[in-house]
Amino acid sequence: MNNNWLRNTIRSFEPYVVPEIKEHIVINANESPYNIFDFPQVKADFLERLAKTPSYHYPDPFAEELRAALAKYVGCQPQEVLVSNGGDEIISLIMNTFLNPGDTLLTHTPTFDIYGIDAEVLGAQVVTVSDLDGYRRDRDGLLTKVKEVQPKVTVLCNPNNPTGELLPLDYVESLVQAADNIVVIDEAYLEFAGAPSIITKLSQYDNLIVIRTLSKAFGLAGCRVGYGVAQKELIDALGLTKLVYNLNILSQNAALAAMDYADDILAHNIPPTLAARQYFMDALKDVPGLTVYPSSTNFVLVRVPDGPAMVKALHDADICVRSYKAANLKNCLRITITTDEVVRKVVAVMTEEA
């Protein structure tokens, strides 16, 4: 075989190395601390559904029952939802569907890096607008760039990962209006923000795709259930290249059981997370040397005087957090807010080390 069998655009990619996590308190991936199978009624519902789903049949390709349940949850029509193997799959479908090599993806930085990676794999060009001060996004800059470049795809995470910043709905809408092409609004963390979704405006915008997930507020990260919401024409387009059986029966049934008890699960999971987030921010905001950024999510970004030293101090206390190599996130740690007990432990270490 000749030696150029790898596609040009992925030749420089490093293999994915599974991070070796030695700590027992793992708060590096914005996971929920709450297990849906600990809710007796959700577990019973899941098992009942599973008992009626034979393993020898392939799953429903468009997960019609789940699609209808998710549509009801977000307030749209079932044909305006595409269910996916985590939000990650929708992101990759968006890139595959709309980006040709050489096209432009526009987003802001810092943000969730999968967008840029997927676009690069396809040989697209990634244009970013930098934040203003390590936290606040350059709203005018992004709007101006959209109008100037008219990229094939524009991405805005709202709230943003890793900063936690939420932008108001009227700004989000102005971005969608300014673009001639696709605008992706990633609302993976919206349930923690207590803010309205741009899905409320779906009928007005044929270029809008909203990304949601059950990984965060519903605690289903292990089941890999995400979904895209858009007008039917875009949903149908995204369905063209998805794997036919993208979501297995275990995940479909778990997600259906979660949707049957959506209100109970959210009422159980969200308030303690928000209270722990408030405690965390109040406890650290006046500690000299620390910058604690406001958050509308289940994580908080903190800039510390010496990132590696703080990571080590947390590691020594058996805690694993997310740190960054990128220059614009120098000495920043992203800390997932889980239980009160964990948050108190993190606060104690960070106060001592700062």
Supply the DSSP symbol for 299.
E
Tokens of 235: 């949903």
**Nearest Cα residue to 189 out of 36, 80, 292, 334:** 334
Interactions with ligand PMP, residue window 138-197 (CB under 6 A): 157, 161, 186, 188
Residue 253 burial class via C-beta count within 10 angstroms: exposed 0-12, middle 13-18, buried 19 and up: buried
- Residue type present at position 126: V
| Rounded least distance, CB 43 to ligand PMP, Å | 21
Q: If DSSP codes are grouped into helix, strand and coil, which group holds residue 278?
A: helix
Size of the site for ligand PMP (CB under 6 A): 14
Q: From the CB of 214, what's the least distance to ligand PMP, in Å?
A: 7
296 binds ligand PMP (CB under 6 A): no
215 part of the interface to ligand PMP, by CB under 6 A:
yes
Closest to 163 in 3D by CA, of 300, 331, 1, 17: 300
Query: Which residues are CB-neighbours of 247 under 8 A, at least 6 positions away?
Result: 59, 63, 66, 83, 84, 85, 224, 225
Interface characters, 64-103, with ligand PMP (x: CB under 6 A): ----------------------xxx---------------
* Nearer to ligand PMP (CB atom), residue 211 or residue 235: 211
Q: Which is nearer to ligand PMP, 328 or 351 (CB)?
A: 328
Q: Given the rule CB under 6 A, which of 93-101, 208-216, 243-251, 340-348 is the region that contacts ligand PMP?
A: 208-216
Minimal distance in Å, beta carbon 4 to ligand PMP? 32
Binding of ligand PMP by 251 (CB under 6 A): no
Position 213 contacts ligand PMP (CB under 6 A) = yes
Calpha distance 188→226 (Å, rounded): 9
Contact region with ligand PMP (CB under 6 A), list: 33-41, 70-78, 211-219, 314-322: 211-219
Query: Which residues on neighbouring strands pair with residue 241, listed in sequence order?
Result: none
CB of 129 to ligand PMP, least distance (A): 17
H-helix segments, 32-164 = 40-51, 64-74, 86-98, 114-121, 139-149
Summarize as ranges the residues that interact with ligand PMP (CB under 6 A): 30, 86-88, 112, 157, 161, 186, 188, 211, 213, 215, 221, 226
